[in-house]
Amino acid sequence: MKRPISVLVPQDNEIDATPTYLFDYASLYREDARLAGASWFRDARYGLGIHFGLYSLLGRGERVLCEGGLKESEYRALTDLFTCARFDALELVEFAIASGMRYIRFTARGEDGFSLFNTSRSSFNSAASKARRDLLGELASACEYHGIGLCVQYSLGTDMNHEQGPRPGRDLTVADLERYREFVYGQLEELLTQYGSLAAICLEGADQVGSHALAEHFESENVIRYIHHIQPQVLVSLGQGLVGSEDFLCCGEDAPAEDAPELERGWIHRNTGKTLEYRLSMGGKAWGYHVESAGKHLREDGVWSQLAKVCKADGNLLVGTALMPDGSLDYEDVTTLVDVGKRIEDNGFPR
């Protein structure tokens, strides 16, 4: 179902199509949508990464299929068990707000190739699973209602489902890459035209595509231009930077050293004017739900310490939480992050 961009009607009765998360930047948005998005993102500082998928049912992290030891047919059969019984988009957004966060990043399609939205490009998706739900659509509506920026994470460099998709140990031909690129463009069009105004699209694993000798055939620059053409305010990242024209860059808990391998450091030290988003996993062991992490999640002081480090570096912090197999929040993370949110409310962001 298509969701129109929210509109507000100013006093002069002129319709303003400013996305709800950019209401405070409405004047700038009318002049330069991309600059408004970039300004908002720099000011946002703190976001929630939500990790959920078929892998959650296994409790071994999000890379369980990539790491082997499981047949693809066995993994696909998990769709019959994927009910998302306690996935509540409104609860997720309100939790992010209570935690002092200003945007949400949601994995629309992970390395396993499973899409958490209603896509016509593949039957391997949540709407065709036991759940029969468009999880991204539900979250988009909740974010729009509350004025929270929605960033979509999309695995570009690894796809364990697509016949021509890149994966560990697979050598891609030009024809393979062209067919996969057509598939990617099709899904990006769906994301950009059916889910209202997005704040960002984060193309994960782009460095893996870039490591192929056929990287030029993927035309990453054109992917960025395509996204901007449909929604000019959307910020695009390709990990730590692959081509240099990304709107922001990403890293782990620490930025890579200047003498790190090129694919590891990307453009981080060359595009110093762009916001750098640091990432922190509450579970530590993996981004997706992992049973061995139970009781070992980060506590308030650990999150606050990382937030202070990132604020000092003038970056953003994305804190990742793994939803439980039924789609509910992990109580360990709820307690910790709401306490961090209270600390932000009382004292502001650390200086």
pLDDT tens, position by position, 139-185:
999 999 999 999 999 999 889 999 988 888 788 888 888 899 999 99
What secondary structure letter does DSSP report for 228? Answer: H
Give CA–CA dist 94/117, Å, rounded.
21
> Would you say 50 and 324 are in contact if contact means Cβ atoms under 8 Å apart?
no
Whether pLDDT at 46 is above 80 = yes
Task: Note whether residue 350 is domain-resident.
Answer: no
Q: What is the pLDDT of residue 211?
A: 54
State the pLDDT at residue 215.
55
Q: Which of 220, 216, 222 is nearest to 204 (CA)?
A: 220
How many CB atoms neighbour CB 242 within 10 A?
27
- 332 vs 343: CA distance, rounded Å: 17
Task: Give me 36's structure tokens.
Answer: 């408004």
pLDDT for residue 9: 45
| Across 189-206, average pLDDT | 95
Is the pTM for the entire model greater than 0.85? yes
Q: Could you give the number of structural domains in the chain?
A: 1
Q: What is the torsional sign of CA 22, 118, 187, 317?
A: positive
State the distance between the two ends of the chain, measured CA to CA, in whole angstroms: 43
In a domain, 313, yes or no: yes
Comparing 22-31, 79-88, 238-247, which segment has the lowest mean pLDDT? Answer: 238-247
pLDDT band at 63 (very low <50, low <70, confident <90, very high): very high
Q: Would you say 72 and 231 are in contact if contact means Cβ atoms under 8 Å apart?
A: no
What is the predicted pLDDT for the residue at 13?
A: 44
CB burial of 146-155 (b: ≥16 within 10 Å; e: otherwise) equals ebbbbbbbbb
Average of pLDDT values for 34-40?
98
Residue 18 lies in a domain: no
How many Cα atoms occupy the beta-carbon half-sphere of 246 within 13 Å? 30
Residue 102 lies in a domain: yes
**Residue 24 resides in a domain:** no
**Which tens digits make up the pLDDT trace of 267-317?**
888 878 899 999 999 998 899 999 999 999 999 999 999 999 999 999 999
Percent of the chain with pLDDT over 90: 74
pLDDT of 3 higher than 50: no
pLDDT of residue 210: 52
Domain of 161 in residue numbering reads as 36-254+262-341
Supply 316's token pair.
């953003």
| 239/252 Cα distance (integer angstroms) | 10
Say what the pLDDT of residue 132 is: 99
Residue with tokens 């999309």: 154
Contact 59, 290 (CB under 8 A): yes
Question: Is 168 among the domain residues?
Answer: yes
Q: What percent of the chain lies above the pLDDT cut of 70?
A: 92
Task: Give me the chain's average pLDDT, please.
Answer: 91
DSSP3 helix / strand / coil % (the chain, rounded to 5): 40, 15, 45
Say whether pLDDT at 2 is over 50: no
Out of 230-244, 256-270, 314-328, which region has the weakest mean confidence (pLDDT)?
A: 256-270
Q: Is the pLDDT of residue 208 over 80?
A: no
Rounded to 5 degrees, what angle do the CA atoms 126, 131, 135 make? 50
Angle between helices 300-312 and 331-347 (to 10 degrees): 50
Q: Give me the pLDDT at residue 200, please.
A: 99
Distance CA 278, CA 276 (A): 6
Round to whole Å and give the CA distance between 297 and 275.
27
Asked if residue 208 is part of any domain, the answer here is: yes
Reported as a pLDDT band with limits 50, 70 and 90, residue 6 is very low
The pLDDT, as a whole number, for residue 221 is: 86
Residue 202 has pLDDT above 80, yes or no: yes
Burial class (CB in 10 A: 0-12, 13-18, 19+), 31: exposed
Please report, for the domain that includes residue 244, its CATH number: 3.20.20.80
Report the alpha-carbon distance of residue 341 to residue 170 in Å, rounded.
44
Distance in angstroms (rounded) separating the CA atoms of residues 222 and 209:
14
132: in domain? yes
Q: Does the structure show a pLDDT above 90 at 325?
A: yes
Cα distances from 223 to residues 201, 211, 227, in angstroms, run 11, 17, 6
